[in-house]
Amino acid sequence: MPFFLKRSRDIQHIKKTGRRVSTGLFNLQVCPDMSTDAMLGIVIGRRFGTAVRRNRAKRLFRELGRSVRPALVPGYAFLVFPKRECLTLPFAELQNIWRSTLQRQRLARFGEPAP
């Protein structure tokens, strides 16, 4: 099963039923999903900026998603809405915020053996 959400129907379902978590760098919407694997979608509107900036933000968050994929709790779908400020931080700092947000929400387990 693919890790990244692409279908509009899936994204709309998460927007309607998911709970929102906000940080200064991104909003995260989380929805218990029917699939057994965790899935991630990235949503960036034109208000974010030029295509170059939008594509850079998508690349950053795809890499963040891949880096935590083994630690994610199965059975959840995530939608990430990056904010413009995410492009101003170094990747390592953004990664720390991403991981701590997921851990605080009990959506990822770091430092424990994977089930």
- Reduced to 3 states (helix: H, G, I; strand: E, B; else coil), residue 100 is helix
How, if at all, do strands 39-42 and 76-82 pair? parallel
Q: What is the CATH number of domain 8-104?
A: 3.30.230.10
Enumerate residues 6+ apart whose C-beta is below 8 A from 110. 68, 71, 99, 103
User: For residues 79 and 58, is the Cβ–Cβ distance under 8 A?
Assistant: no
Residue 1 has a pLDDT of 52
| Token digits of residue 40 | 């991630």
| Token digits of residue 115 | 């089930």
Residue type, position 8, single letter: S
Mean pLDDT by 10 residues, the chain (115 residues): 83 91 94 83 94 96 93 90 94 94 90 56
Enumerate residues 6+ apart whose C-beta is below 8 A from 76. 30, 31, 32, 33, 38, 39, 107
pTM for the whole structure: 0.87
